Amino acid sequence: MRIVLGVSGGIAAYKAVEVCRRFVGAGHEVTAVLTDAARRFVGEATFSALATNPVPEGLWQRWDGGIAHTRLGQRADLVVVAPATADFLARYAAGMADDLLSATLLVTRAPVVVCPAMHTEMWEHPAVVENLLALRRRGVHVVPPESGTLAGGDEGAGRMAEPATIVATALALSARRCDLTGTHVVVSAGGTREPIDPVRVITNRSSGKQGHAIAEAAAARGARVTLVTSSALSAPAGVEVVHVESAADMHAAIAAAAPGADVVVMAAAVADFRPKAPAAQKVHGLPELVLEPTPDILAGLAEARRPGQVLVGFAAETQDVVARARRKLERKGVDLVVVNDVSAPGAGFDHDTNEVTILGADGSVAVVPLTSKRQVADAILDEVVARLERDARDTRDARDSKRDTKED
Ligand code: C5P
């Protein structure tokens, strides 16, 4: 794997030397890109000696038969920035491209991991918090700092994570990249709109952000993705999109896409009820609303599912969150239920962040603390991949034991 190791100017730059050594030791091709400030902390000669390639001088250099500021990012399989200073994070979040590291980050389509390191006051400053949130929203992975001794002998949160943690996290992340290749993943997103008359609808607060993030993450991990969405959010790149309005539309679109799919993730907030007879003309005065239940799309999928298909449901709750979700898991007959406490700060409807618990029918429980919806998406897909792999293993074992019995 071709790794670009970005080093920005903080005292933790000395630990980047160890990160570099570990990546090279694990058999990867490493190019270290140093900012001007980083060069004040650690000499270029150290990285040139340890990395696979010499340290590129800067933006204007030719590199690998092309120009350094585009070629490095284009050819990278992984970019890790350790340490990532407050200044670097601000420049990256703003989309600057005035030095080799920032330009490389703007060009690359590879996964990016940043490892912040700074004083506690800076780490807690709203500007830094917002820059990191913006980067997380764009799919950048963050290895959070630890607490400990900081530059100048101060103590507190902000010390860069240990090199072993950084290397393990970054390598695990890129191993994920292709683990859905060859699969078809269907994702539903957004709140449905149930007509009262041609003007009014019954709907809910779902924005579709979590479902869109799942579609984007599944595509990035190599899946063919069909996104059935009622949301006006723009569609992630490389995803087939079916726009729907009502629960009935969503039912029809899912029924068309799901039978051949390997995975169906019902992240949509499908209305549980709708007006029984929507008026053909605009109602004047108070409408008499008679409601009827909508078909439960997910439960229908579970009844009709083919062996090996993984089904994921969502549960948005405000109290007894996990207990209710566990009952839902059983009632719906699905493999996984992602539980959202939509009353928790920063979680659920319309936020860019989320905090979930993923319950498995096999008794597994995975807690994902508050993070970007994109990272929640990857955590859900990790659970899905574990089930696909287990099914594939079970099928292989069953086939082998059948063959062994025949040969006996
Ligand atoms: O029963 P409840 O609406 O809480 O279940 C939520 C889960 O069921 C979500 O995954 C949602 O997409 C799905 N659902 C469905 N059809 C409905 C209602 C919900 O597939 N009519």
Q: Where are the alpha helices (DSSP H) in 26-125?
A: 36-41, 44-50, 68-75, 86-93, 100-107, 120-124
The CA-atom distances, in angstroms, between 140 and each of 78, 90, 99, 149, 217 are 11, 14, 19, 26, 12
Nearest to 247 by CA among 201, 209, 214: 201
Q: How far is the CA of 316 from the centre of ligand 1 (A)?
A: 9
List every span in the chain annotated with CATH 3.40.50.10300.
179-395
pTM over 0.75: no
* Rounded Cα–Cα distance for residues 232 and 240 (Å): 15
Q: What is the pLDDT of residue 350?
A: 78
Which residue(s) pair with 263 in the sheet?
185, 310
Asked whether the beta carbons of 188 and 157 are under 8 A apart, the reply is no
231-238: long-range contacts (C-beta < 8 A, 24 or more apart)? 231/189, 231/190, 231/206, 231/207, 232/208, 233/189, 233/190, 233/207, 233/208, 233/209, 236/212
Top mutation candidate among 205, 214, 265, 297 for ligand 1, by most atoms within 8 Å of CB: 297
Cα(266) to ligand 1 centroid in Å equals 7
Between CA 30 and CA 55 the distance in angstroms is 10
Residue 267 CA to ligand 1 center (angstroms) comes to 8
Closest ligand 1 atom number to CA of residue 331: 1
Of 266, 341, 380, which is best to mutate to test ligand 1, by the most ligand atoms within 8 angstroms of its C-beta?
266
Report whether 66 contacts 56 (CB < 8 A).
no
- Measured in Å, residue 70 CA sits from the centre of ligand 1 at 45
Q: Distance, CA 314 to ligand 1 centroid (Å)?
A: 7
Q: Which helix (H) or strand (E) holds 304?
A: helix 297-304
Catalytic residue among 53, 131, 204, 354: 204
For ligand 1, what atom is nearest to the CA of residue 295?
21
Beta carbon of 297 within 6 Å of any ligand 1 atom: yes
Q: What is the pLDDT of residue 9?
A: 96
User: If you search the block for the tokens 């999928």, which residue do you land on?
Assistant: 301
The residues, any chain, with a CB within 8 Å of residue 248's CB and separated by 6 or more, are 294
Ligand 1 mean position to 125 CA, how many Å? 39
Q: Where in the chain is the domain with CATH 3.40.50.1950?
A: 2-150+160-177
Q: Is 294 in the pocket of ligand 1 (CB under 6 A)?
A: yes
- How far apart CA 113 and CA 81 sit, in angstroms, is 6
Q: Which one of 274, 314, 321 would you pick to mutate in the ligand 1 pocket, going by the greatest count of ligand atoms within 8 A of its CB?
A: 314
Residue to substitute in 292, 298, 322 for testing ligand 1 pocket (most ligand atoms within 8 angstroms of CB): 298
Closest atom of ligand 1 to CA, residue 188: 12
Q: Can you state the angle between helices 100-107 and 68-75, rounded to 10 degrees?
A: 50
Evaluate whether the domain defined by 2-150+160-177 bears CATH number 1.10.10.60.
no
Taking CA atoms only, the protein residue closest to ligand 1 atom 21 is 296
- Please name which of 141, 146, 152 lies closest in space to residue 10, comparing C-alpha atoms: 152
- Cβ–ligand 1 distance for 354 under 6 Å, the answer no
**Beta-bridge partner residues of 3:** 30, 78
Report the atom number in ligand 1 closest to the C-alpha of 317.
4
146 Cβ inside 6 Å of ligand 1: no
- Tokens 């086939």 correspond to 399
Q: Rounded to the nearest whole angstrom, what is the distance from the C-alpha of residue 183 to the centroid of ligand 1?
A: 24
Whether the ω angle into residue 83 lies within 30 degrees of 0, i.e. cis, is yes
- Is the CB of 190 inside a 6 Å radius of any atom of ligand 1? no
Residue 115 beta carbon below 6 angstroms from any ligand 1 atom: no
Instruction: State how far the Cα of 377 lies from the Cα of 163, in Å rounded to an integer.
Output: 26
DSSP state, residue 408: -
Tell me the C-alpha to C-alpha distance, in Å, between residue 393 and each of 197, 396, 407. Answer: 52, 5, 21
pLDDT for 237 = 77
Contacts of 342-348 with C-beta under 8 Å, sequence gap 24+, read 342/205, 342/316, 342/317, 342/318, 343/318, 343/319, 346/370, 348/316
Confidence at residue 68, expressed as pLDDT on a 0 to 100 scale: 75
Provide the pLDDT for residue 190. 97
Q: Report the number of secondary-structure helices (H) and strands (E) in the chain.
A: 14, 21
Rounded-to-integer distance, Cα 32 and Cα 102, Å:
13
The first and second tokens of residue 391, run together, are 């099914």
Return the axis-axis angle of helices 373-407 and 209-220, rounded to nearest 10°. Answer: 50
204 is catalytic: yes
179-395 fold: Rossmann fold (3.40.50)
If we measure between CA atoms, which residue out of 339, 344, 383, 351 comes closest to residue 364? 383
* 334 in contact with ligand 1, CB cutoff 6 A: no
pLDDT in single tens digits along all 408 residues of the chain: 999 999 999 999 999 999 999 999 999 999 999 999 999 999 999 999 999 999 998 888 777 777 878 889 999 999 999 999 999 999 999 999 999 999 999 999 888 999 999 999 999 999 999 999 888 878 788 999 999 888 888 888 899 999 999 999 999 888 777 899 999 999 999 999 999 999 999 999 999 999 999 999 999 888 999 999 999 998 887 899 999 999 999 999 999 999 999 999 999 999 999 999 999 999 999 988 999 999 999 999 999 999 999 999 999 888 888 899 999 999 999 999 999 888 888 777 878 889 999 999 999 999 998 888 988 999 999 999 999 999 999 888 888 888 888 777
